[in-house]
Amino acid sequence: MRRTARTTSAALTLTGALVVGGTATAGAVGEGPDYQGNEVITTSILSTYDEVVDFLHAQDAKQDAMELEVIGQTVKGRDIHLVKYVSDPENPTILYLAQQHGNEQLTTEAMLHVIKTLGSGQHARMLDDVNILFVPMFNADGAMGDVNFSIDHYLAKGERHLTRYNANEVDLNRDHVAKLEPETQALHENVLGAYDIDYMIDLHHQGTQSRVDGKLVSGSILYPTTPDVDPAVLEGSKRLGAVVYENVDSTGWGHLGKYVGGTANTIARNGVAAEYGISTLLFEMRGMSDHEWAGAILGQKSNGYLIRQTVVTLMSTAQAVADGSIETADTSFWDTLPEQG
Ligand SMILES: [Zn+2]
């Protein structure tokens, strides 16, 4: 159910709010180092699955508004967690999904930061007007490198490798029609089919080399491109993208392009929009956490702005849904947003 706008401003300022690992946000996006074989990429700074679960339990114990639910198990038996802020079933609802691809973890780190922030009390009013669902580490087996195929040749250093695929070497973001994997089944049965969700942002990381206007992008966005999407749902996706673009691209360090994506419903951005009428948005952050190809991964000096970019994305869209300003977001930028190349 949608409600009419109550207030108009969705602009969100997070200036100074985020310090990651003791390092302030990097200033110049696109200038961040990428891996060229001469920079150490380590996965040791990334939260492990157990650390994520411990964090969620600790926040659950502290936060009255938060509920923690297990929606199913991965191939290897890890619990998949859903974090819920549902103050009123009549509220509009937004879902944030992170780490369908296990080697794309900064989105998860940002999500944990946002969950902690929501417990601070300063966003209590927002939480009265929007229901927020988070799946912080969807592909936990891939994130932990606990898989039934070899990833020993992946390039990152550290205690573990991270891989795109689940333990069965399936790309979960190509399983949203057949739903053969336990992770996908859990998401569809216990989240997508169980809640009245209006919006969803599917959070990913892409390679390091995409450019717009000659400058490396900090990320890219795209609405559903399946022919099966309802026009009103598509319009909602474009408005969701408008909120993200307005808040991220205006920061000075954010530089967004239009993602070039396919039309298959096996992809969540398309399939979830078509099947459930949810206005979906894909957000691809620059640079993966681990990969077998050097061009895909990014030095950790860039982590600050990439995490911050995700935090801005999550907080600004939750706020825009809560105050209703998303209903009037200007989607005309999509007509001129260049595809990244
Ligand atoms: Zn991905």
Tokens of 258: 């239009």
C-alpha distances out from residue 264 to 100, 203, 251, Å: 16, 18, 33
Q: Please list the residues that pair with 274 across neighbouring strands.
A: none
Residue 173 alpha carbon to ligand 1 centre in Å: 8
Q: Tell me the pairing of strands 79-85 and 211-212.
A: unpaired
Domain spans in the chain, listed from the N-terminal domain onward: 19-330
Q: Cα separation of 116 and 307, whole Å?
A: 14
What is the 56 CA–ligand 1 centroid distance (Å)?
23
Tell me: pLDDT of 26 over 60.
no
How many angstroms does the Cα of residue 178 sit away from the middle of ligand 1?
Answer: 19
How far, in Å, is the centroid of ligand 1 from the Cα of 274?
A: 20
User: What confidence tens digit (pLDDT) does each residue in 179-190 have?
Assistant: 999 999 999 999
- pLDDT, position 88: 96
* Alpha carbon distances (Å) from 299 to 31, 289, 294: 11, 9, 11
| Domain made up of 19-330: CATH architecture | 3-Layer(aba) Sandwich (3.40)
Say yes or no to pLDDT of 28 above 80. Answer: no
Helix (H) or strand (E) holding 5: none
Distance between CA atoms of 211 and 163, rounded to whole angstroms?
25
Q: pLDDT tens, 219-237?
A: 999 999 999 999 999 999 9
List Cβ neighbours of 113 (8 Å cut-off, separation of 6 or more): 18, 20, 307, 311
What's the pLDDT band for 291 if we cut at 50, 70, 90? confident
In the reported structure, the alpha carbon of residue 113 is separated from the centroid of ligand 1 by a whole-number distance in angstroms of 20
- The 8-class DSSP code of residue 332 comes to G
pTM: 0.89
99-149: per-residue pLDDT in tens? Answer: 999 999 999 999 999 999 999 989 999 999 999 999 999 999 999 999 999
Residue spans of alpha helices (H) in 91-168:
106-118, 124-129, 140-144
Ligand 1 center from residue 319 Cα (angstroms)? 25
Q: Which of 192, 195, 188, 9 is nearest to 92 (CA)?
A: 195
Measure 101 CA to ligand 1 centroid, in angstroms: 5
